[in-house]
Amino acid sequence: MNKRYWSGRICGLVPYTPGEQPKDRQFIKLNTNENPYPPSPRVTGAVAAAAGADLRRYPDPEGAPLLAALSRACGLPQDHIFAGNGSDEVLSFAFQAFFDAGSTIVFPDITYSFYPVYANLFGIRCRRVPLNPDFTLPVEAFCGGNDGVVIANPNAPTGMAVGLDALRAILEANPHAVVIVDEAYVDFGAQSALPLVGAYPNLLVVQTMSKSRALAGLRVGFAFGQPELIAALRCVKDSINSYTLDRLAIAGAVAALEDGDYFDLRRRQVMDTRERAAERLRELGFTVLPSQANFLFASHPAVPARDLFAGLRAAGILVRYFAQPRIDSFLRITVGTDGEMDALCRALESLLGQRS
Amino acid sequence: MNKRYWSGRICGLVPYTPGEQPKDRQFIKLNTNENPYPPSPRVTGAVAAAAGADLRRYPDPEGAPLLAALSRACGLPQDHIFAGNGSDEVLSFAFQAFFDAGSTIVFPDITYSFYPVYANLFGIRCRRVPLNPDFTLPVEAFCGGNDGVVIANPNAPTGMAVGLDALRAILEANPHAVVIVDEAYVDFGAQSALPLVGAYPNLLVVQTMSKSRALAGLRVGFAFGQPELIAALRCVKDSINSYTLDRLAIAGAVAALEDGDYFDLRRRQVMDTRERAAERLRELGFTVLPSQANFLFASHPAVPARDLFAGLRAAGILVRYFAQPRIDSFLRITVGTDGEMDALCRALESLLGQRS
């Protein structure tokens, strides 16, 4: 590809690679951490009601009805909340809002692979702290001397979470740096840092509706923090796109948030299935990390993960494999329905049997 | 506002100010260039059909069904088309993709006020070329020596357009710089630069569904250019947010694009109303610039525009006033329905009568 007209800032970029979205063939899709259940049935009605003549009007620039619903749900005032087009957009705004070009931010060597992509685009330096050999977070290594900290909690693709004490230690040791806690998967069993927002002006908590709310297709994410941080995110948004949430996304997100019973039912189902599937994978000889997310990270001592990935794909099951140091013996497997996880385990059993 | 945690790149920013979106009171809203008619009725059904269980899945990262519909509509291959979250997002991606920090881009002194906002965020220098005294474009001043060119055609807030010969001259005089032609309002009577895309590798044409398609609330915009430029936009998107168009926006946009008859009916109505309203404003003593957009830019010799703006607001009619050199004697008036324009003219008549 000729790049005569590309700016210097993008010529050397390696963009993020999302998981495969197959178009041609029906797969059991356990590769992008989508929810196996549909969103709240209230979403459909709310979206249909919003899809009329009012679409000719711009949406509210801050997504006000959504901020109001979030405020009711979490108890924080609206000036503590930012809503955007998926948590990826919110994170990209946060990197621009809080991290200077040439400064150095820190995150684990094994984590969400979008963080270094944002950093590269905005000229921010990255210091990657190795996770401990058991993939736990070396908390003390994040304490002090950073221009910014990014922690996914639970972490991806390990699924492992830290408690609030660890986050408090990191927040207190970095009083002049913003600490982003990316809680994309928090609703599947980890502790949210939301109760810390009032105490720490340097804390930004980022969440999404893509996973636990089953709305990956609606593109809605949030950030929670003190007004100084939220105003910075709004400043970035209003310098890029005044309205990143369309009227339908706002309406659908509000309806999903208001259906708390459905939310609790579905995330409970996912967590129950996760524990049963982890147990069966262990019976098949896998090492399975303790997950508090809607996916499992599993490694088999006898068969290379790359081979299992390919074998599963041939059997019509998509999982995710990262050809990356330290984790290239692992598969990341999204928790599907019980039926989907049964099919996965049967396919793995067959693949392992062919090897023995 | 304390800005302890704000990055240097945003501390001095002045974000874009969108037109007022009143929440409390019913106004005749002629201030944000929205379409006075609802979108195609096909949109509602398409959105409702997309608002089911599939929302749990991520959308196609490039909005493939929308690229296919656009390709059918404009005749360009899909690798010549980019779709994003409104043309504002598309423009922000283009500024990052094609203009280096420290380089100098050129645009008219009177034009869409988001251009300098993008430039400031990304560290790009701006050279503002004064429009001629009659608000026409001094084409030769854009010919040569630029790192980038941005032309709104028709221009905002004047509504005045240039022909393809002028654009050809600018494209040929800037062979090493990308020329962005922002056609947000092109469907109301101006000539689109789309037929030039094949001949000029440095041309990026940007369009939106917010105006002529009556979908400001859906947030869908496009760019058209040769594959080298489109690939650069995708590189930026994939370094920020893999999926900026949600499933509902994709479905609604496709439905609107496929309803060509409705599109032609409504834009014809807007153009007819525009000409009638311009004539009545001239009868009231206004100077009205020749508009090829869905708004009129009008100045009265006897009464300050600021006073007319305030008087109209008190009468329940919102228009836009820019307190800015050279145009602070003008009102920008969105073309509404015939009834709304009648109400506007009556209110102006009354305000002017009180003065004489």
Instruction: Compute the average pLDDT of residues A84-112.
Output: 98
Q: Which two tokens stand for residue B284?
A: 């009231």
Contact A256, A39 (CB under 8 A): yes
Q: pLDDT value at position B102?
A: 96
How far apart are the C-alpha atoms of A290 and A296, rounded to whole Å? 8
Put simply, the answer to whether A56 touches B35 (Cβ < 8 Å) is yes
How far apart are the C-alpha atoms of A6 and A20, rounded to whole Å? 27
Contact B135, B110 (CB under 8 A): yes
Chain A residues touching residue B240 (CB < 8 angstroms)? 88-89, 92, 118, 121
How far apart are the C-alpha atoms of B356 and B349, rounded to whole Å? 11
Q: pLDDT value at position A356?
A: 58
Tell me the nearest-neighbour CA distance from A47 into chain B, angstroms: 7
Instruction: Compute the average pLDDT of residues B230-243.
Output: 97
* Average pLDDT across chain B, whole number: 96
Continuous segment of H or E residues that includes residue A311:
helix A305-314
Chain B residues touching residue A2 (CB < 8 angstroms)? 228
Q: At B315, give phi and psi (nearest 5°).
A: -85, 5
Put simply, the answer to whether B98 touches A5 (Cβ < 8 Å) is yes
Share of chain A above pLDDT 90, in %: 95
Q: pLDDT value at position B82?
A: 98
How far apart are the C-alpha atoms of A266 and A263, rounded to whole Å? 5
Q: pLDDT value at position A24?
A: 74
Q: pLDDT value at position A76?
A: 98
Continuous segment of H or E residues that includes residue A347:
helix A338-355
DSSP H stretches of helix in B284-337 = 305-314
Q: Answer yes or no: is pLDDT of A355 > 80.
A: no
Q: Which two tokens stand for residue A143?
A: 């304490």
Angle value at C-alpha A77, between A71 and A80, nearest 5 degrees: 100
In chain A, which residue's Cα lies nearest the Cα of B239? A15
Q: Which two tokens stand for residue B86?
A: 């409104």
Instruction: Compute the average pLDDT of residues A315-328.
Output: 95
Beta strands in chain B (DSSP E): 28-29, 81-84, 104-108, 125-129, 148-152, 178-182, 203-208, 221-224, 287-288, 295-299, 317-318, 320-321, 330-334
Amino acid at A237: K
Contact B33, B294 (CB under 8 A): yes
Tell me the nearest-neighbour CA distance from A58 into chain B, angstroms: 4
Instruction: Compute the average pLDDT of residues A129-135.
Output: 98
Instruction: Compute the average pLDDT of residues A6-31.
Output: 89
Q: pLDDT value at position A324?
A: 92
A102 burial level (CB within 10 Å; 0-12, 13-18, 19+): exposed
Q: pLDDT value at position B282?
A: 98
* pLDDT tens, residue by residue, B254-290: 999 999 999 999 999 999 999 999 999 999 999 999 9
Tell me the nearest-neighbour CA distance from A81 into chain B, angstroms: 16
B126 burial level (CB within 10 Å; 0-12, 13-18, 19+): middle
Q: Answer yes or no: is pLDDT of A161 > 90.
A: yes
Q: Answer yes or no: is pLDDT of B217 > 70.
A: yes
Prediction pTM value: 0.97
Tell me the nearest-neighbour CA distance from A163 into chain B, angstroms: 25
In chain A, which residue's Cα lies nearest the Cα of B232? A6
Sign, CA torsion A31/A37/A42/A44: positive
Contact A297, A157 (CB under 8 A): yes
Q: Answer yes or no: is pLDDT of B147 > 90.
A: yes
Q: Answer yes or no: is pLDDT of B356 > 70.
A: no
Query: What is the distance, to the nearest Å, from the Cα of residue A167 to the centroid of all Cα atoms in its chain?
Result: 18
Chain B residues touching residue A176 (CB < 8 angstroms)? 4
Q: pLDDT value at position A20?
A: 80
